[in-house]
Amino acid sequence: MSEGEKRLGADAWGEILRTYAVVVPRVAAVVERASGLPLSWYDVLLELRAAPGRRLRMQDLGERVVLSRTRVSRVVDDMARAGLVAKEPDPHDRRVSYAVLTPEGANRQRRVAPTYLAAIEAEFGRHLTGEQLRAIRDGLGHVREAHDSSRRAQPGGRHPSG
């Protein structure tokens, strides 16, 4: 990689961080104002809704959402008290527990989805062309996939089957 490409990589990384710092609080404010849900809760609902059986191991949920492992556990506990998710132990491994989407959580996610998508469009998507959006999606997806592949290849790394 040339020095110019290294600099471009650092500049792109800086733009990701600065854009995240500006856009995420705006989207979060719209979602919370419209639904009363913190964006972190909506993120958990979204991941669980997309998961097979609408359930994920806590560890896997923590890898998918933008929360620390400790924080994801607290958020799921709070959401369980609100009836949006349930925590279930793994009957085969007491060290493992699952976050499971409840019917109320699924309904709440479905009701908030249009607001969430509109906020993403207003605060992010409308500032970019379709070509730019595809380049961002594909480029960042490539980086994530490279890291997912290297993690699976490591001894003790996450395996695609869970």
pLDDT tens-place string over residues 89-105: 988 888 889 999 999 99
Structure tokens belonging to residue 94: 């007491």
What is the biggest distance separating any 2 CA atoms in the chain, rounded to whole angstroms? 54
Residue 159 has pLDDT above 60, yes or no: no
Domain extent listing, the chain: 3-123, 130-155
Residue 113 has pLDDT above 80, yes or no: yes
Mean model confidence pLDDT for the chain: 90
Structure tokens belonging to residue 49: 């809704």
Assign domain 3-123 one CATH number from 1.10.10.10, 3.90.226.10, 1.10.760.10, 2.30.30.830. 1.10.10.10
In the prediction, which pLDDT does 18 show?
Answer: 97
Query: N- to C-terminal Cα distance for the chain?
Result: 35
DSSP-based three-state secondary structure for 84 = coil
In the prediction, which pLDDT does 92 show?
Answer: 87
- How many degrees, rounded to 5, is the angle at CA 100 between CA 70 and CA 116? 80
In the prediction, which pLDDT does 52 show?
Answer: 95
Q: Which amino acid is at 132?
A: Q
Of 126, 21, 141, 19, which Cα lies nearest the Cα of 11? 19
Window from 31-35, 65-69, 98-102, 137-141 with minimum mean pLDDT? 65-69
